[in-house]
Structures are given as C-alpha cells and as structure tokens.
Amino acid sequence: MVDTKPWTAALDRAGYSITEPRRAVAEMVAERDSHFTAPELVLEAKRRRLGVGRATVFRALEVFEELGLVERLDLPSGEHAYVVCEPAHHHHVVCQRCGRGTDVEDCGIEDVARQIEAQTGYLVDSHRVELFGLCPECRAS
C-alpha cells in the first residue's frame, strides 16, 4: 500500500490543483500492487461510484506520469499499462504470473548503451528496458 500524501505534495509542488478527482485516482492507483491500465481504473471508478469520468482518469495519469509518480510501460501483449514507481528509477521487472512489478536500480544498462553506440554508430540518448519473469513468490509456488 502506497501513501498518497507524497502524491498531493508533488501535484502542489508542480503547480497543479489538488482536486478530489485527482485524489481519487491517486488512491485507486496507490491501492494497486501490480500494473494496471487506464480503462481498468475507469471501470473501478464507475463501480465504486466515485464520480470520476473517463477523461479525468486519462488526464490524471498523464499528470502523474509527468511527475514521475507512475511509469507507463508496454506489456509483451502490447497493452499499455502503468506501474507505480519511485521517482528517479527507470526500469521495472514485471511478474508474468501475478503482474506485480518492482523497480530496478541502475544495473549496468548504461554500459550496454555505450557498447551499442560503439557497435552501431548511433548516439543513444534514451532507452526503455522492460523485463518480464517470475517474482520470488510466484517462483516458489
């Protein structure tokens, strides 16, 4: 469970209003412990009668992503999903069984990028790494 206080603080710091709908989206997101999609949140908002509309969910996620509170990732299926993340970290491992994700600290990717630059002549300035596998728990069972 993630505390949503940092979320409202981040909104405030960035000059965004702290509104009830945004708080509601933050809470739905914080309660999740694995990746989720925008339409899933829309569904949940409707089910729980939070009075939060589709557009608002999309717009809130957009803001949260900009603030580095969530990261958008692409599942192997091609679906667009989001995961909660600590600001500053930029990669995730996602469990294929339970969907839970974990942040990955710097792990040598920079070296890989440099090697690729040497190999291809490209100047690499951004990369996206997504890893999929089994989390410790699912691995055990």
Instruction: Report the interface residues with its own copies, using CB under 8 A.
Output: 72, 74, 76, 78, 80, 93, 95-96, 102, 104-105, 107-109, 111-113, 115-117, 119-136, 139
Applying the rule CB under 7 A, the residues between 15 and 74 that interact with DNA are 16-22, 37-39, 42, 51-56, 58-60, 62
Least Cα distance to 130 among 85, 91, 77, 80 occurs for 91
Closest approach, Cβ 62 to DNA, in A, equals 7
Nearer to its own copies, 15 or 78 (CB): 78
Q: Which residues of 8-37 are buried (b: 16+ CB within 10 A; e: fewer)?
A: eebbeeeebeeeebbbbbbebbbebeebbe
If contact means CB under 5 to 8 A according to the sort of partner, which of DNA, its own copies, none does residue 128 touch?
its own copies
Nearer to its own copies, 17 or 141 (CB): 141
Least Cα distance to 60 among 17, 31, 91, 94 occurs for 17
Closest approach, Cβ 55 to DNA, in A, equals 3
**Does position 133 bind DNA by CB under 7 A?**
no
